[in-house]
Structure 1
Amino acid sequence: MRPAIVSIAAKSGTGKTTLVVKLIAELKQRGYKVGAIKHDAHNFSMDREGKDSWRFTQAGADTMMVTSKEKLAIIKQNPDQQEPPVRESITRYFGDMDIVITEGFKKNDFPKIEVHRKERSPRLLYRDDSYDSTLIAVASDSPLQLDVPVFELDDALSICDFIEERFLSDRRKQ
């Protein structure tokens, strides 16, 4: 069974990461296998200069893995120099998850929960600027009248209830 996918999207500085962390923790507490993908528009680096893994990739390793009894991490060079489609990454690396939460992929076609902070921007991305049929809910620090459910920004429990009911009702918990 493919994992359910929910995107947390918003303008920068609204609290996407804080919400994603709360959702992951709550979904794990409820017994689900949870994956997460963060979009980074910058050229991130997981390696620290001088570490063995950094030295391996600097030497030209196309794929490098660090393993321990608790974790594994893969650094794979991207020869295309183009960002791979997120759906392809989910299919390839997250097949054993119940749900994958993506953060920062504003233009994907996955169901989206928009994070909104009135002080950051009075306008929503997916209703004020343009209509996006993938918007399924909004987490906001101010009341809004919309055609989708609106949750308090800090109410991760209710947002998880919504996600669970909508996407995970047919999944077995761990």
Structure 2
Amino acid sequence: MKTPAVVGFYGKSDAGKTLLITKLIYRLTNGGYKVATIKITDKEVSLDGRGKDTWRHSQAGAELVALSSPIETSYIVRERRDERRIIWDIAKLGQYDVILVEGARDPSIPKIQIGDAERRDNTVGIYKDNFEEIIEIIKREITKIKQSANDKTIIIRVNGKTIPLGDFPSVFIKNTIVGMLRSLKGVDRVDKVEIFFGY
């Protein structure tokens, strides 16, 4: 399973998040990158329509409904999932280079601020008509993930037993922890991390 880079975007309503992301998708895919996206919203919306067969399946109790047609496949899960879980699910579905997250809040995700907005943790850039700079930030994140995938320095022991990790879980866990640590006050850089705890 390939480990994708993840870059989030946030800003006020009507700041141009969707417009910027669609331009980025177009540019990145034309540059040979495989792109996936996530849209996070607080509005109660559904892709599924009342009375449709898939709606009936979920109303009958199905926790996950998949629709496959000649033009697309959709998965509908009847629960709100956090960003990290959605990223994990997407990474298992395909070989993506980057996942762009509109409305990202997770502190471990590097983010681009669009326009004037309250700054969020792990903001790595601000978009104000500097499209090429944003493209370069995304490419740097993709490069970092590729390098991180080659650097398997994460070791997890549970009750004294070392747990074997594949590429994706290793990079996913490592980048999540590093992202969270970078958002803490007093942490400028992360070279080595030691975490010990018990129940």
TM-score (normalizing by structure 2): 0.64
**CA distances 1:67-116 after superposition (whole Å, capped 9, x unpaired):** 024321011222xxxx3221122112224211000011235321111000
Larger RCO (alpha carbons 8 Å, 6+ apart): 1
The aligned residue for residue 53 of structure 1 is 54
The aligned residue for residue 147 of structure 1 is none
Match among 87, 90, 102 for residue 87 of structure 2: 90
Q: Go from structure 1 to structure 2 and tell me whether the alpha carbon gap of 1:114 and 1:53 turns closer, same or farther (over 3 Å shift).
A: same
Q: Go from structure 1 to structure 2 and tell me whether the alpha carbon gap of 1:48 and 1:124 turns closer, same or farther (over 3 Å shift).
A: closer
2:101 partner SS? strand
**Counterparts of residues 62-77 of structure 1 (less than 5 Å):** 62-77=63-78
More helix per residue: 2
Cα distance, 1:22 vs structure 2: 0.8
Task: Establish whether residue 125 from structure 1 lines up as the match of residue 118 from structure 2.
Answer: yes
Structure 1 CA distance for aligned equivalents of residues 117 and 77 of structure 2: 36
The aligned residue for residue 111 of structure 2 is 112
Write the letter of the residue equivalent to 1:159: I
Cα distance, 1:9 vs structure 2: 0.8
Cα distance, 1:55 vs structure 2: 2.1
Q: Go from structure 1 to structure 2 and tell me whether the alpha carbon gap of 1:113 and 1:47 turns closer, same or farther (over 3 Å shift).
A: same
Structure 1 CA distance for aligned equivalents of residues 112 and 97 of structure 2: 18
- 8 A contact 1:37–1:101 mirrored in 2: yes
Match among 127, 136, 155 for residue 139 of structure 1: 127
The aligned residue for residue 169 of structure 1 is 143
- Rg larger in structure: 2
Cα distance, 1:157 vs structure 2: 4.1
1:65 partner SS? strand
Structure 2 CA distance for aligned equivalents of residues 2 and 37 of structure 1: 16
Q: How many equivalent residue pairs?
A: 142
Structure 2 CA distance for aligned equivalents of residues 31 and 45 of structure 1: 31
The aligned residue for residue 35 of structure 1 is 36
- 8 A contact 2:40–2:103 mirrored in 1: yes
1:50 partner SS? coil
Gap runs ≥5 in structure 2: 147-199
- 8 A contact 2:38–2:99 mirrored in 1: yes
Question: Which deviates the most, 32-41 or 68-77?
Answer: 68-77
Structure 2 CA distance for aligned equivalents of residues 9 and 108 of structure 1: 12
2:85 partner SS? helix
Residue identity over aligned pairs, in percent, reads 31
Cα distance, 1:12 vs structure 2: 1.6
Write the letter of the residue equivalent to 1:9: Y
Write the letter of the residue equivalent to 1:160: I
Structure 1 CA distance for aligned equivalents of residues 127 and 111 of structure 2: 11
RMSD: 2.0
